């Protein structure tokens, strides 16, 4: 399986969901209230809501609306980017392992995927990544914090790398999990826009914002790039007006996101204690998930945990070891995870 690719086993709907980085305490109340009021307009296409949301994000970030694209989660924007940059004879470069959706789809379109291994401590090897860039590379992709390791890079080192790459070609920073960091906006690279025209930022409301089912995310980039991405989809936006309205209501809700981070930290600690108790190796994470090793085949372990009522994910970290990933959950969900591990081991 490609490194960074994740798999989950099918389970009963009543199973404990610890597989997808979902926030068990979401969605934000403000988003629920806004969407409830909007339901009567479900007969209308989403363009007006999408436009309003794009204007709101632009105003907040000091950009103009043509610097912003709204997507059905960040995944739509990533797929649009694969269409834009996935050209035969061209290449996309990334660290490895990482979230690989963009590169896999670009490969299907004929592009080459240049993979640069992470360091032994699971960080990006920025020097090796710079050295690996050649004339074929049209895009450098960074997931930050990285998935499936959950590790965030040093801000100054990341920024120096991004600015160096951006001198010659676009660099995308996928910030799906950036909200997990205490100083999320300070750690984000979106402050480099609009001065750095080759910088692309992708964000989502699916993770710590607890809005995965709303399908809403956004991209920040140059006028030219945003126009290129929009040209890959039909004129009528593919997103939901409810996602846009919910996103507008949640956007900037620091009380909710602070509560979510606090709960995430408590959950992380509970998971570490569980894994230590079972003598299992794991990676300390900056995100709302933790990757850990199991002694038996990871796919078999995944299936057995599913049979015990706990949904996890299988991940590959290029070291020939058996890894699973558990998302942060409520205390009672993690108690179920603990009990299932006891039976598994």
For residue 235, the model assigns a pLDDT of 55
For residue 1, the model assigns a pLDDT of 30
Q: Does residue 265 sit in helix, strand or coil?
A: helix
DSSP code of 88?
T
For residue 9, the model assigns a pLDDT of 41
For residue 52, the model assigns a pLDDT of 92
Strands 171-174 and 289-293, bridge-based pairing: unpaired
What is the value of pTM for the model shown?
0.90
DSSP code of 118?
P
Per-residue pLDDT of the chain (345 residues; tens, 9 = 90+): 333 444 444 444 578 999 999 999 989 999 999 999 989 988 888 888 889 999 999 999 999 999 999 988 898 899 989 999 999 999 999 999 999 999 999 999 999 999 999 999 999 999 999 999 999 999 999 999 999 999 999 999 999 999 999 999 999 999 999 999 999 999 999 999 999 999 999 999 999 999 899 999 999 999 998 988 888 766 555 788 899 999 999 998 999 999 999 999 999 999 999 999 999 999 999 999 999 999 999 999 999 999 999 999 999 887 778 999 999 999 999 999 999 999 998
For residue 5, the model assigns a pLDDT of 40
Q: Closest Cα partner for 51 from 280, 289, 279, 239?
A: 239
H or E element, residue 338: helix 331-344
The answer to whether 201 and 143 have CB atoms below 8 angstroms apart is no
For residue 11, the model assigns a pLDDT of 40
For residue 316, the model assigns a pLDDT of 87
For residue 269, the model assigns a pLDDT of 97
What domains lie within the chain, and their CATH numbers?
A: 16-25+254-344 (3.90.1150.10), 29-250 (3.40.640.10)
The answer to whether 326 and 268 have CB atoms below 8 angstroms apart is no
């Amino acid at each position: 399986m490609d490194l960074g690719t994740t798999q989950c086993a099918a389970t009963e709907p009543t199973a404990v969901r610890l597989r997808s980085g979902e926030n068990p305490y979401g969605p934000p109340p403000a988003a629920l209230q806004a969407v409830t009021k909007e339901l009567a307009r479900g007969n209308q296409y989403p363009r007006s809501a999408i436009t309003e949301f794009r204007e709101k994000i632009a105003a907040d970030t000091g950009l103009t609306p043509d610097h912003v694209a709204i997507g059905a989660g960040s995944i739509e924007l990533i797929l649009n980017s694969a269409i834009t940059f996935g050209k035969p004879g061209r290449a996309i470069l990334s660290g490895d392992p990482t979230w690989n959706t963009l590169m896999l789809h670009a490969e299907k379109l004929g592009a080459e995927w240049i993979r640069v291994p992470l360091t032994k401590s699971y960080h990006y090897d920025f020097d090796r990544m710079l050295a690996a860039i050649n004339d074929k590379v049209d895009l450098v992709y960074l997931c930050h914090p990285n998935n499936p390791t959950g590790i965030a890079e040093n801000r100054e080192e990341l920024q120096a790398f991004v600015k160096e790459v951006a001198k010659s070609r676009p660099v995308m920073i996928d910030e799906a999990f950036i909200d997990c960091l205490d100083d999320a906006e300070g750690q984000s690279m979106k402050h480099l826009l609009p001065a750095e025209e080759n910088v692309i930022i992708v964000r989502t409301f699916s993770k710590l914002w607890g809005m995965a089912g709303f399908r809403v995310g956004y991209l920040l980039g140059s006028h030219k790039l945003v126009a290129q991405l929009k040209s890959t989809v039909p004129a009528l936006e593919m997103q939901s007006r409810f996602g846009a309205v919910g996103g507008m209501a949640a956007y900037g809700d620091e009380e909710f996101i602070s509560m979510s981070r606090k709960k995430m930290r408590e959950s992380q600690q509970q998971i570490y204690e569980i894994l230590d108790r079972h003598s299992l190796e794991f990676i300390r994470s900056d995100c709302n998930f933790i990757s850990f090793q199991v002694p038996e085949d990871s796919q078999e372990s995944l299936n057995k945990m599913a049979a015990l009522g706990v949904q996890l994910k299988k991940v590959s970290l290029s070291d020939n070891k058996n890894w699973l990933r558990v998302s942060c959950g409520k205390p009672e969900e993690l108690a179920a995870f603990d009990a299932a591990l006891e039976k598994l081991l």
